[in-house]
Chains A and B, each alone.
Chain A
Amino acid sequence: MRNDQIESVTDLTVRLIGRTATQVMQRNVDVTAESNIGQDLGIDSLTLMNIVMELEDVFELSIPLDRLADVETVGDLAALINELRART
Chain B
Amino acid sequence: MSLLDKHEAYRQAYQTIRDAGADPFNVHFEAVLSPSEGVLNGKPTILLGANNYLGLTFDPSCIEASSAAVHAHGTGTTGSRIANGSFDGHLELEAAIARFYGRKHAMTFTTGYQANLGLLSTLVGRGDHLFLDADSHASLYDGARLGHAEVIRFRHNDPDDLRKRLERLKGAPGKRLVVTEGIYSMLGDGAPLKEFVDVKREMDAYLLVDEAHSLGVLGEKGRGLAEALDVEADVDVIVGTFSKSLGAVGGYCVSDMEGFEVLRVVCRPYMFTASLPPSVVASTLQALHLVETQPELRARLTSNAQRLYEGLKNLGFQVGPQCNPIVAVAVADQPLAIKVWRALLDAGVYLNLALPPATPDSRPLLRSSISAAHTDAQVDQVLAIFAEVGQTFGMISGSARQRARG
Contacts and interface: CB of A to CB of B under 8 A. Distances in A.
A69 to B, nearest CB: 9
Interface string A48-64: 01101100110011111
Contacts of B103: none
B357 interface: yes
A65 interface: yes
Contact of A50 (B134, B165, B168, B169): B134
A64 B173 CA distance: 15
A45 B357 contact: yes
A64 B124 CA distance: 14
Given A65-B151, A65-B153, A66-B151, A49 B134 contact: yes
A53 B131 CA distance: 12
A66 B165 contact: no
B317 to A, nearest CB: 23
Contacts of A82: none
A44 interface: yes
B139 to A, nearest CB: 15
A50 B151 CA distance: 14
Contacts of A61: 168
B134 A62 contact: no
Contact of A64 (B9, B134, B150): B150
Contact of B134 (A53, A63, A66): A53
A44 B13 CA distance: 12
Contacts of B134: 49-50, 53
Interface core residue of B144, B151, B154 (most chain A CB under 10 Å): B151
B362 A47 contact: yes
Interface residues of A, number: 18
Contacts of A49: 134, 153
A62 to B, nearest CB: 5
B18 to A, nearest CB: 20
A66 B150 contact: yes
A47 B9 CA distance: 16
A46 interface: yes
B357 A53 contact: no
Contacts of B73: none
B396 to A, nearest CB: 25
B385 interface: no
Nearest to A69: B145
B201 interface: no
Nearest to B361: A50
A65 B168 contact: no
Interface string A12-35: 000000000000000000000000
Interface string B368-379: 000000000000
Nearest to A42: B9
B357 A62 contact: no
A46 B153 contact: no
Contact of B145 (A44, A47, A66): A66
Contacts of A65: 144, 151-153
B152 A62 contact: yes
A40 to B, nearest CB: 13
A46 B356 contact: yes
A53 B155 contact: yes
B224 to A, nearest CB: 26
Contacts of A57: 164
B151 A64 contact: yes
Given A53-B134, A66-B145, A47 B151 contact: no
Contacts of B150: 62, 64, 66
Nearest to B148: A66
Given A52-B153, A57-B164, 7 more contacts: A45-B357, A46-B356, A47-B357, A62-B152, A64-B150, A65-B152, A66-B151
22 contacts: A38-B9, A44-B356, A46-B357, A46-B362, A47-B357, A47-B362, A49-B134, A49-B153, A52-B153, A53-B153, A53-B155, A56-B152, A57-B164, A62-B168, A62-B169, A64-B150, A64-B152, A65-B144, A65-B151, A65-B152, A65-B153, A66-B145
